[in-house]
Structures are given as structure tokens and as C-alpha cells.
Amino acid sequence: MRAQISDALGASEIVVTNAVIQYAWTTVLEQALHDYESQFRSYVLQNVIIAKAFARPMIEKRWGCIVALNMECAMQNHPLQSAYVSGKRGMNGLLWVLARELGEHQVTVNQIAPGWMISEAVQNAGTEHQEAYEKQVPLRRRGEDKDVANLVAFLASDLASFITGAYISGSGGNVVPTSCAF
């Protein structure tokens, strides 16, 4: 993939990761071990593979950014989501380490954690409004896919050149993460 992109466009300077492997959610005691493994592969290992494939040219250029999509669920820790949350929290730890390792090379690594957004698929299904969910969101509405795209565009721009290691909630205030001291 890196070679194809490089041949067509040159070395990548901006990489956005967003992958998911679907599975049935159930309790920790009932969740199959392979579901935890699949979530680890989907969120942690795919970010390792992408970093190994794309970060070196960014390091050489002394500029670049990696933006990964997390999810509000990673901070909510709701029942039945243990494999998903475990994978996302593992991804979070990996990306914080990567931000610290790539920072000296002027490469930023950040995360966006959207809420339950309205996508084209949601619009096509006619399920844009979810009253119970919207009532718990301080902005009293669901965001749209363009809200996520705007956050990605910001983090990929020079406006965010001094932001790395951030976990930015795009959930209308439904999740308000705190920072930790290193």
C-alpha cells in the first residue's frame, strides 16, 4: 500500500487510521477470546503496521502526522463492550508512546474519539435520531461525519503543528477525557 501511494502521490505526510472488526458484544464471562484478539489486531496491531510503513519518510522529512480514530466508548466502559474497549484502550496507549517517540522528529500523533455520529449509511437507514442517546449528549444532538472530517483536517494542518499525544473527544460533550501527567 505504501509503495502504491508513494508511486502515485509521493511520500505520505498525513496518515489517518480507522479500522474495525465487527463481532457480537456480550459479557466478559461470555465473550470469546478470539474477539479480544481480533480487537487487538484491529486497533493496536494495525496502528503498529501503519506506523512502521509510513513514519520513516515523515521522520526523514521532519514533518508529518498520524491521526487515529478512537471512539467515545473507549472512555465510557459500558457493559458488553469489553473486547472493543480493551482494543481501543490498547490503541490509546500505543499512540501515546508513538507520539513521544516521533515527537523529536516533528511528527505528530493524535486521536479523535467521536460519539455516535450520523453517517451516510445512518441517513440511508433513516436512523439519524436516537432520542435516548441524544438526551445524554450535552449538545442534545448527534454529530455528523463532517464533524469528524473537520477534526482530522485541523489535526493535519499547520494550525495543530504543536499538538501531539492528544485524545480529542468529538462527542458533543458526551465524553470529557482528562489529561494525565507524564
Catalytic residue among 43, 84, 133, 167: 84
Asked if the model's pLDDT at residue 181 lies above 60, the reply is: no
In this prediction, what percent of the chain has a pLDDT beyond 70? Answer: 97
In this prediction, what percent of the chain has a pLDDT beyond 90? Answer: 64
Query: Cell 469528524 identifies what position?
Result: 148
For the stretch 95-122, pLDDT in tens is 999 999 999 999 999 999 998 888 888 8
Q: Cα(45)–Cα(16) distance, rounded to whole angstroms?
A: 15
Task: Give the residue from 65, 68, 56 showing the smallest Cα distance to 2.
Answer: 56
The pLDDT value recorded for residue 88 is 94
Fold adopted by 2-170:
Rossmann fold (3.40.50)
For the stretch 56-83, pLDDT in tens is 999 999 999 999 999 887 788 889 999 9
Helices 2-9 and 46-61, packing angle to 10 deg: 40
Residues near 13 by beta carbon (within 8 Å), at least 6 away in sequence: 58, 61, 63, 64, 65
43 given a catalytic annotation: no
Domain boundaries, the chain: 2-170
